[in-house]
Structure 1
Amino acid sequence: MSTSVAQAFVKQFEREVHDAYQRMGSKLRNTVRTKNNVQGASTVFQKVGKGTASTKARHGAVPVMNLDHTPVECTLYDFYAGDWVDRLDELKTNIDERQIIASAGAYALGRKTDELILGELNRSTNYAGASSDGLTKAKVLTAFEKLGESDVPDDGQRYAVVGWKQWSQLLGIDEFASTEYVGADELPWRGTQAKRWLGTLWMPYCGAY
């Protein structure tokens, strides 16, 4: 057997981890802007400001908006989630050990991705109220007022990540849990993965609080 065959095993395992991560790894990755196949130690996302429309005189020059472009740099980090698989041991078991480890690695990398996203969310200084009295309807409405005042578009891409305790508190709000307000198709009792309410996708997550 060629000694270089181990490299083929490693590449196969890396591909399986990558495929598993894409399918089931991160719960929050699709809620943020992403870039794939970045080469280098960092990448930049452009944050574009608002434009203003103006009138012009006949034959006059069209006024320019002078859009503000604010670059937001994102530093890349390498994270690893691997384990050892003996090819001879695979011949002695009736389970796909390599696939099990690949799936476990994908979940581990997914949790790390979500941990990094939540870490950035927790750096925010915008609050809708004190945390001592839990998540209430008043806080939800205050948060939506803040989004509106900041001109955050209501384009179906708003997300709210809450902890399981806050999810239970939301279930106590009639407007969130009652079919009379949200319709039968949007009831949270149909599944606890996510629910759309007030144009926002609410997601319970064990790492959020």
Structure 2
Amino acid sequence: MPLPTIDLAFVKQYEAEVHAAYQRQGSKLRGTIRTKNGVRGASTIFQKVGKGSATQKARHGIIPAMNLDHSTVECTLADWYAGEWIDKLDELKINHDERTVVVNSEAWALGRKTDEMIITALDSVGSGQNVTGSSDLADSAGLTKAKVLMAIQMLNEADVPDDGQRFAVVSPGGWTGLMSIAEFASADFIGADLPYRQSMGTMARSWLGVNWLMHSGLPMDTTYRENFIYHRTAVGHAIGAEVTTDITWHGDRAAHFVNNMMSQGAVLIDGTGVVRIKITEP
């Protein structure tokens, strides 16, 4: 049934614009982890499979099964909303800045919540996955080359695949530290191409087999900012409902209430695929 006083074409366009804004600038991390769409119910299960070992067999004998260790990780979904009022008189401007402001505000709010859930999952990794050591590796140091190399070494020692699906999310202060490392900052070492720039909507570059992203929402542990290097499969992101829009008229307010909502969750699947790097920011 058509909504009163507002054109259905506007409703459809508004919803499309919100979804596009969410994908473009809302979430920076959604594309860097394992995703499960179309989840039904309040939670879902991600499968975790252990390592297998190759064996020999006697001629005409039965091939021994690897008996892989199978375990599951449950991800609980939560419902999130971002709503705003649009006054009737503002509808005169819906084809201009007023609509854009509300579209972006709501989409980015949901995107920040998506990233917040993913970062919380990353931060649930145990302290055994922290980079520690002497002066260059201490939490009181910035994001040094020594810390980066140690984090990558930890992933390598855990047999985490070096397949182009390793990601690092660092704070603005951490990015400043990286830019002081010639091998990271200079195109002579990494090339001029910056992968993921368009799809992620943020600064990004590939270095040491890791795709580096900057994020302003990383947690702080009392004194030290926490940064993470991880493999895509180490964290799961479950989607029960993508971003959807509902627009309703309220005569007592002479305004429309525009609500955008989603149902999502994130969980740490395999802690060995995540390394935490604590730093002191400049």
Select 1:176's aligned residue among 181, 184, 208: 184
Distance 2:210 2:20 in 1: 29
Counterpart in 1 of 2:164?
Answer: 156
Equivalent position SS for 1:128: coil
What's the TM-score once normalised by structure 2's chain length?
0.65
Equivalent position SS for 1:132: coil
Alignment of 1:41-190 (within 5 A): 41-91=42-92, 95=96, 97-124=98-125, 125=127, 126-129=129-132, 130-185=138-193
Greater relative CO (CA pairs within 8 A, separation 6+) = 2
Counterpart in 1 of 2:22?
Answer: 21
Distance 1:33 1:131 in 2: 29
Q: Which amino acid aligns with 2:204?
A: A
Distance 1:147 1:133 in 2: 21
Q: Which amino acid aligns with 2:26?
A: G
**Whose helix proportion is higher, 1 or 2?**
1
CA contact 1:54–1:63 (8 Å) conserved in 2: yes
Q: 1:14 to 1:184 in 2, by over 3 A?
A: closer
Q: Give the C-alpha shift of residue 88 in structure 1.
A: 4.6
Counterpart in 2 of 1:207?
Answer: 217
Unaligned runs of 5+ in 2: 133-137, 195-200, 219-224, 226-282
**Whose strand proportion is higher, 1 or 2?**
2
CA contact 1:134–1:169 (8 Å) conserved in 2: yes
CA contact 1:90–1:96 (8 Å) conserved in 2: no
Counterpart in 1 of 2:230?
Answer: none
Distance 2:5 2:37 in 1: 29
Q: Which amino acid aligns with 1:205?
A: H
Q: Give the C-alpha shift of residue 11 in structure 1.
A: 6.5
Equivalent position SS for 1:50: coil
Distance 2:193 2:16 in 1: 38
CA contact 1:80–1:109 (8 Å) conserved in 2: yes
Distance 1:67 1:23 in 2: 39
Counterpart in 2 of 1:31?
Answer: 32
Q: Which amino acid aligns with 1:128?
A: V
CA distances 1:106-138 after superposition (whole Å, capped 9, x unpaired): 111111111111122222221113321111111
Q: Give the C-alpha shift of residue 100 in structure 1.
A: 2.9
Unaligned runs of 5+ in 1: none
CA distances 1:11-35 after superposition (whole Å, capped 9, x unpaired): 7455543343233320011111111
Cα RMSD for the two superposed structures: 2.8
CA contact 2:28–2:202 (8 Å) conserved in 1: no
Distance 1:180 1:3 in 2: 58
Q: Which amino acid aligns with 1:127?
A: N
Equivalent position SS for 1:131: coil
Q: Which amino acid aligns with 1:79?
A: W
Distance 2:15 2:192 in 1: 43
